[in-house]
């Protein structure tokens, strides 16, 4: 993980390609229910997001938000909570010039739907509802 973040910091022009590659892998792993690989990919995306504070992060953010949306759409509660935690990390980053052109409507509707979760297991239902808040 350290080598990846070092490479991304030293070559920020490659950050978009790294994000696209991780997004492609994560999409494939979510569909194939490989939650271990999904966790690794999201950890890499989170660390890259935290390490790279530059102008080149803007294209990377699009891939990142697409992956968070993918996790929130998945039927697995564990992945939904993982996506929520990653979005919170993203939301806490201070930007020099905030981009208001991004669409957050999906995230607002998804988080509010999570608050009204009707999962059969009470523990999982509570966990999803807390993550939605």
Tens of pLDDT, residues 10-19 = 887 888 888 8
Q: Does residue 107 lie in a domain region?
A: no
For the stretch 40-88, pLDDT in tens is 999 998 898 888 766 567 778 888 999 999 999 998 999 999 999 999 9
pLDDT of residue 1: 83
pLDDT of residue 97: 61
Q: Does residue 60 lie in a domain region?
A: yes
Q: Does residue 119 lie in a domain region?
A: no
pLDDT of residue 9: 81
CA distance readout (Å), 19 to 7, 23, 58, 63: 13, 6, 11, 6
- In 31-94, the DSSP E strands lie at none
Specify the number of domains making up the chain.
Answer: 1
For the stretch 114-124, pLDDT in tens is 999 988 999 99
| pTM score | 0.86
Q: Does residue 99 lie in a domain region?
A: no
Higher pLDDT: 89 or 96? It is: 89
Q: Does residue 12 lie in a domain region?
A: yes
Query: Residue 106, CB half-sphere, CA atoms under 13 Å: how many?
Result: 14
Q: Does residue 90 lie in a domain region?
A: yes
Residue 24 CA, distance from chain mean position: 13
Tell me which residue range forms the domain holding 55.
Answer: 2-94
pLDDT of residue 96: 65
Q: Does residue 28 lie in a domain region?
A: yes
């Amino acid at each position: 993980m350290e080598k990846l973040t070092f490479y991304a910091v030293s070559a920020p022009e490659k950050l978009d390609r790294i994000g696209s590659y991780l997004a492609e892998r994560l999409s494939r792993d979510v569909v194939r229910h490989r939650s271990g690989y999904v966790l690794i990919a999201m950890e890499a995306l989170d660390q890259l997001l935290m390490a790279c504070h530059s102008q080149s992060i803007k294209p990377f953010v699009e891939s990142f938000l697409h992956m968070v949306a993918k996790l929130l759409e998945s039927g697995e509660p564990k992945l939904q909570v993982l996506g929520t935690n990653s979005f919170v990390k993203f939301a806490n980053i201070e930007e020099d010039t905030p981009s208001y052109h991004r669409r957050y409507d999906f995230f607002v509707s998804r988080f509010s739907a999570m608050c009204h979760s009707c999962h059969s297991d009470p523990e999982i239902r509570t966990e999803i509802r807390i993550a939605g808040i």
